Amino acid sequence: MASEVKDWPRAIAHLDMDAFYASVELRRRPELRGKPVIVCGSGPRAVVTTASYEARKLAGIHSAMPAATARRRLPDAVYLTPDFPAYREASEEVMEVLRSNVETVEVVGLDEAYLDLTGLFSPKATMRRIAAEIREVTGGLTCSVGISESRLLAKITSELGKPAGLVVLSREDGLARFAEGSPGLVPGIGPKTVRRLEEMGATTLTQLRERWSREELEARFGPRSGAWLYHRARLEDNTPVTTSREIKSQSAETTFDHDVADLGQLERQLGELAEELCRRLRKRDLRGRSIGIKVRLDDWTNVSRSHSVAEATNDPEVVRPVALDLLRAYDPPRPVRLLGVRVASFEHDAGAEGRTGADGPDADDAEGEGEGEPQLRLSLPS
C-alpha cells in the first residue's frame, strides 16, 4: 500500500455477500454444492437474480442476464425460483453481526453494507473477524470485503477479492491500479455516459482526468454531473457512511411476458400496481405528493410522466386515478414492454424527486445502490 490504513483520514469498508441468493439456497440444499445453480424467474423475460460461481465459470452466467440466455448456455444447470423471504431472513442475520461489531453500519441492500472503520486500531483484523463470524452464524455464507479511504473505492475494491476475499487499497494505489481502466468501473457511470466519454476521447480514467477540466465537464454534462465526473475520475468521494438512508421514492413495476398494445389491459395492470404500491407505502407509513408512471416501449424507449398532488398520500383512490390519467395522456404509441408506478416527494423530504444511490450523470443505466430492500417487481399475467 502507498500508505498505512492508520494514516488515512477515513477507513471505509464495503462488505458484499458472495452469490448471496444462490448461497442461501445451497445452505438449505447442501446436495447442490459444487453444481451450477442459477436463481431466476420462469417467464420468457425473466432475468438471472444470481448464479453460483460454478455457473459463472462454466458459462459466464451473471446477474441481470436474460434467463433464456442462461438456459441456452447452461441447460443442465439447477434452476431455482427466488425465495425472497428466505433471503431477507439471512440478510438480517448478516446485518446483526455487522451492527454488533461496528458502530456505524449503512445497509444498502439485502447483501451489502458500508462500515465506517475510522479510528479503529486494526480495520483489517476487524473485518477478518466479522467475516469469520458471519460464516459461523449463517452456516457457511461468505462475503468479500474492500477497505479503502472512501465509499467509492471500498465498493470497487470489494470486487477485487471475490469470492471470500479481503482487499485493502489506498486512493493512491487505486489511481495507479485503475489508470487504464474504463470510466465504467466507477459505480454510477453507466453505459450511456461511457459512450459519451469515448466519443470525447476519454476511454480510460487517466484520459478523463488529464484531458478534461472540471469546467469542460460541467459544460458538457451540466454543473452537478460534470462536477461529479471530475471528482470520480480522481477517485474522490467524501460521501459519509450513515446508519439510516432516507427513502426518496418507492415504485412498483412489471415487465410483461409479451408486449401489450391494448390500453385497457395496460390500465388494469397499472391499477393493480398502484394498489400494491400503496399497500407497501401504508405498511411503512410513507406518503408522497409526486405520483408518476414509467413506460418502456417494445423498442426500449423509456418514458416517464409525473404529477404533484396537493397533499401527501398513500391512498390508492388518489394514486390510481392520477397514474391512469398520466397513462391515458401519454397514450403509448407502440406496444409496452414494462409498466410502473411511482410515488416520491415524501412528507419528510419536501420537493425531492427520487435520487439513486449512484448519483451519476445517467443514473437510469447505472447500478445504483438500493434502499435496503429491492423495489417491488411484480409478475402479472399479460
Q: Are 236 and 338 in contact (CB under 8 A)?
A: no
136 belongs to the catalytic site? no
Question: For residue 151, which phi and psi values (nearest 5 degrees)?
Answer: -60, -45
* CA distances to 212, 252, 363 from 216, in Å: 6, 38, 21
Q: Which three cell numbers stand for residue 187?
A: 459505480
Residue 351 backbone zone (phi > 0: left; psi -120 to 50: alpha; other: beta): left
Distance CA 199, CA 193 (A): 10
Q: Which three cell numbers stand for residue 324?
A: 391512469
> Which of 25, 112, 149, 369 is an active site residue?
112
Q: Are 339 and 379 in contact (CB under 8 A)?
A: no
Q: Which three cell numbers stand for residue 16?
A: 458484499
The neighbouring-strand residues paired with 310 are none
Residue 79 backbone zone (phi > 0: left; psi -120 to 50: alpha; other: beta): beta
Distance CA 288, CA 342 (A): 10
Q: Are 146 and 167 in contact (CB under 8 A)?
A: yes
Active centre residues (catalytic): 112
